[in-house]
Amino acid sequence: MGALTLSNVTKSFGAVEVIKGVDLEVAEGEFCVFVGPSGCGKSTLLRMIAGLEDVTSGEVKIGDRRVNDLAPAKREIAMVFQSYALYPHLTVEGNMGLALKQAHVPKAEIAASIGRAADMLGLEPLLARRPAELSGGQRQRVAIGRAIVRTPKLFLFDEPLSNLDAALRVQTRIEIARLHRDLGATMIYVTHDQIEAMTLAHKIVVLNAGRIEQVGAPMDVYNDPDNAFVAGFIGSPKMNFLDAAALGQQGASLGIRPEHLAISRDQGPIAGTVSHIEKLGSETLVYVHAEPHGLLTVRLFGEHDFAVNEAVRLTPDPARTFHFDASGKRLR
């Protein structure tokens, strides 16, 4: 197993700096998720850890070893890609064991490693098949199995579920979480999907424009965001931002999550009009246009009968309200 340390890591493509002085500690056995919007640098940072991109400055350490100048094959890592990257002419067994075969590991040891991984991932009935005979979810499990047999110090996942449909994403997410518990391995996982981040991570790293905005346990980041960017990015539906001055409150804006915004037909300091309703069975989302705040989202648990164009009143829970200045910094 291995820990990861990034010290003032930067990456530039010509004059464009895309990773801007990242410092991060990932403990041995930890499941760490990089999350952020497209273009924030999360995949680039993962590729730098893997050795697929050079580090412009700073230091990358896996365990106690500096790996900046080591080739990917020397870093004792295994990477699972979005695209699966399986060899179409090889069977499942052949794909899973190829790296060990190339390393001249004895056949009996290769077979034992493949057997253990196949058992963990439910791949035993598929070992003789080729990738074209597999579903997308099965191919992704093979790609994960190929990583497991190498017993790396560090597992790297680059948006591994983005090619799967919704049901398979949930199933595979559960399998990855179980796999981490069984292996006790250090895992770094990149995703733009904050639900994956919240459900898988011990530690979330929220990235924006090549910088780390906040690091913490999922619910700590959700309940105690450092700034408006983190507050608005983490959470689904996203946080509402209200005009603080219009409510006589401190700061430039107030942040309130949809579940902490009460709705009534006759009581509340914010007047608005229902513009859209989404009835999801277990919950109801009510979208309310309220000047000068704009479109606000109210999350209600269970079924509720509000109507489009209905006049309503909203009340933020003062105990769950966040104050931000004009730059987005949290006021505490």
In degrees, to the nearest 5, what angle opens at C-alpha 187 toward C-alphas 57 and 20?
Answer: 25
d(CA 18, CA 63): 25
As a CATH number, domain 237-331 is 2.40.50.140
- pLDDT-derived band at 2 (thresholds 50, 70, 90) equals low
pLDDT reading at 68 higher than 90: yes
Query: Please, where in the chain does CATH 3.40.50.300 lie?
Result: 4-228
**pLDDT value at residue 151:** 84
pLDDT reading at 1 higher than 70: no
Q: Which two tokens stand for residue 96?
A: 């899973």
Section 195-215 average pLDDT: 95
Q: Which two tokens stand for residue 106?
A: 């004895």
Section 225-250 average pLDDT: 95
d(CA 283, CA 302): 4
**pLDDT value at residue 150:** 84
Section 225-234 average pLDDT: 96
Section 274-287 average pLDDT: 96
Query: Please, where in the chain does CATH 2.40.50.140 lie?
Result: 237-331
Section 2-24 average pLDDT: 94
**pLDDT value at residue 50:** 95
Q: Report the CATH architecture of 4-228.
A: 3-Layer(aba) Sandwich (3.40)
Residue type at position 173: R
Question: Mean pLDDT across the chain, nearest whole number?
Answer: 93
- 3-state SS, residue 255: strand
CB-CB contact of 277 with 270 (8 Å): no
Tell if the pTM clears 0.85, that is, is over it: yes
